[in-house]
Amino acid sequence: MVTAELLLLLAKHLLLTGLPLAAAMLFAARKGVRQVPVLLAIGLAASGILGLLGFWTYYGNRPTGESFSYLVLLGSVAVAGWSLYGGHLERALLRRLATPLALWSLGTGFLVFLGFAHGGANVPLLTPMSRFSQLLPGDNYLPLYFAEYFLAHGHHGTPPDYASFLASDRPPLQIGYALSQHPFGWDKSQLDYQLMGVGLQQLWIVGLWALLLAARVGRTTRALAMGMVLVSDLAIVNGFFVWPKLLPAAMLLAAAALVLTPLWQELRTSLWAAALFAALCGLAMMGHGSSVFGVIPLLAIAAWRGLPGRRWLGVAVAVGIVILAPWSAYQKYGDPPGNRLTKWSLSGFTGIDGRSTGEAIREEYARAGLGGAIHNHVENFVTMSGGTMAPEAIEAALDTGKVAEVIRTLRVVVFFYLLPSLGLLLLGPIAMILGFRRGRRNQPDWRLAVSCYLAFLIGAVAWGLLLFGNGEDRTIVHVGSYLLPMLGLVGGVVGLRAVLPRFAVYWVGLSALFSLVIYAPALDPLPGTAYSASAIFLCAAALACFGFVLWRDGEPREEGVMPTALRPAPELSRV
């Protein structure tokens, strides 16, 4: 009965989240856009904008918000129906658009049933706090806590803090999604919110698919990259524990599809693309402030690959202001000071005071002195590597001789430290160096791997230099943008495929199997729970179907070939 309820609720939230996304893609396709990566980026941007508008309408008052929720649902149905009417869209294009949505649905189902494989659906926010990791804080509850306040009070009053965090400390994108879906039969068990949250975090599947298609890598490479990320610690832990960190990464992956691939040479002259890119970056910032460490490398690479014109930059800045300015105003006037996490990151100060961010940075750096500041930033880069902490922790776990303790320790290490989180895929850059010397490499795979690692490097350097780096604030993975480890994983897979294509299949398969072995067991189950045969079956079935869809994805088998449905439409190039 619990499994059946999970299936029904999951289907409901997949529909509520996916329908506006699909409608936006179909509408753009009806208007002439034929590049699938661009259509996926449009869908994600439209979904995020509607989620953000959901927050602001409910902030106004509940009746307005509920009217907006129904308008989005009915409007999405109408737009999708109009776009499909008359057979103006090719079946091949529709199949290619359906593939990432099917992968997203199956990937969400896989994670939901893996997470609840040992029960715990009756306490849906408590179970994720320890299912795949050490006991995590209550950050997965924060968006729901503030959503419930705004649902009841709108703009009247200021939400009480939660664990000393103000509503203005965290951007509202996931809150907006929660508010928008609340009228459609939410219960009081918080299971609706959990399932919606998993679906939102798993939107990285759509963003990554856009990046891989835009880079023109082959089917096998796409399948390996998607499968590896799906079963990685990054997606499993942070997808089931629904703090709003993977959702912004989905937006940034879609933005990366526009910048890190051959699409950029065309899109950097299109004002329409300027609005799309800025919207994706702005929505990522409205998902979580740490997204800035993902935006920086994308901007740097975009400038390096060909700086757009003034009008393009003007449109991008204007769109960014429209998205970010209302929240900045709320932080300053609605629930001040609103800069606690910014000060925490950039000055290392964790308390609450009346200083501006700039004042806190100047005073904390002055207090640390030159030597202290240099030491802090060096420690940032040591932390990314795992330093001596990671190997010492693993060695201590091995000394116990207990398999469960080793698995616990591995989970902790890959959760906190950037380079260790890449696991066996750290072989990727080594293989690329050897392959470069021998001159043996697949060009589309090679180009994407280089772009991923370049963005990873720029982002990591910016992260290490901008974060204050004292003991209260250091570069552990969840403090930064999840775009960086995502690109590290993809770069490892694609880099291996570029120089050692057959070996890559076995190595990535081994890495994926190793990750499943680490995360499948329930090491610290909640009292009164037990493994569910039906949940395990559905988890395995979703994973198998995910693999089948990857194998029959409808894209061309040839490496680097762009099918007709992916080629630029005249309407796009004239904008």
Average pLDDT, the chain: 93
Number of neighbours of residue 527 by Cβ within 10 angstroms = 4
Cβ–Cβ under 8 Å, residues 356 and 449: no
Question: Where residue 99 falls among pLDDT bands split at 50, 70, 90?
Answer: very high
What is the Cα–Cα distance from 263 to 383, expressed in whole angstroms?
A: 35
pTM exceeds 0.85 for this model: yes
Q: How far is 115 from 120, CA to CA, in rounded Å?
A: 9
| Residue in the structure block whose two tokens are 């929505």 | 283
**319 pLDDT higher than 70:** yes
When mean pLDDT is compared across 144-153, 190-199, 299-308, 554-563, the lowest value belongs to 554-563
**Section 102-130 average pLDDT:** 96
User: In the structure, what pLDDT confidence band is assigned to residue 3 with cuts at 50, 70 and 90?
Assistant: confident
At 560, the pLDDT band (50, 70, 90 cuts) reads very low
pLDDT score recorded for residue 437 = 72
Six token digits for residue 114: 């893996």
Q: Is the pLDDT of residue 231 over 50?
A: yes
Q: Which two tokens stand for residue 518?
A: 């680490």
pLDDT tens digits for range 523-553: 999 999 999 999 999 999 999 999 999 998 7
CA 467/CA 470 separation, integer angstroms: 9
Predicted confidence (pLDDT) per residue in 460-483, tens digit: 999 999 999 887 678 999 999 999
Residue 216: pLDDT band with limits 50, 70, 90: very high
Residue 573, pLDDT score: 34
What pLDDT does residue 439 have? 63
Q: Write the DSSP string, 256-314.
A: HHHHSSTTHHHHTT-HHHHHHHHHHHHHHHHH-GGGHHHHHHHHHHHHHHH---HHHHH
How much is the average pLDDT of 165-171? 91
pLDDT in tens, 380-425: 999 999 988 999 999 999 999 999 999 999 999 999 999 999 999 9
Q: What is the pLDDT of residue 570?
A: 37
**How far is 31 from 26, CA to CA, in rounded Å?**
9
DSSP state for residue 566 in the 8-state scheme: G
> Minimal CA–CA distance to 266: which of 279, 253, 276?
276
Please tell me the distance from the alpha carbon of residue 255 to that of residue 252, in angstroms, as a whole number: 5
Q: Is the pLDDT of residue 338 over 60?
A: yes
pLDDT at 472: 67
CB atoms within 10 A of CB 43: 27
C-alpha 37/C-alpha 149 separation (Å) is 37
CA gap 137, 170 in Å, rounded: 15
Confidence tier at 430 by pLDDT (50, 70, 90): very high
Q: Is 171 in a helix, a strand, or coil?
A: coil
Which pLDDT value is given to residue 315?
Answer: 98
